[in-house]
Amino acid sequence: MKTCISCGKQAKRYTEFESPNGEKIVRCKYCKENGVPYKTPSGFEGP
């Protein structure tokens, strides 16, 4: 399990990808499907 960057919960089902700044971004299935916003430590924001 990994921590979702959007909701901060431990996610069993998640997607992992890299931001343009080379950071690992983990989002759970719920946040991905609902487009919950996130911000990385370097200031990259999504979805």
Using CB under 5 A, list all residues that contact Zn ion.
Answer: 4, 6-7, 28, 31
Q: What secondary structure letter does DSSP report for 19? A: -
Q: Which is nearer to Zn ion, 12 or 22 (CB)?
A: 12
Q: Which is nearer to Zn ion, 4 or 25 (CB)?
A: 4
Q: Which of 14, 13, 15, 26 is nearest to 40 (CA)?
A: 26
C-beta atoms surrounding 33 within 10 Å: 9
How near is the Cβ of 4 to Zn ion at its closest, in Å? 3
Shortest Cβ 34–Zn ion spacing (Å): 9
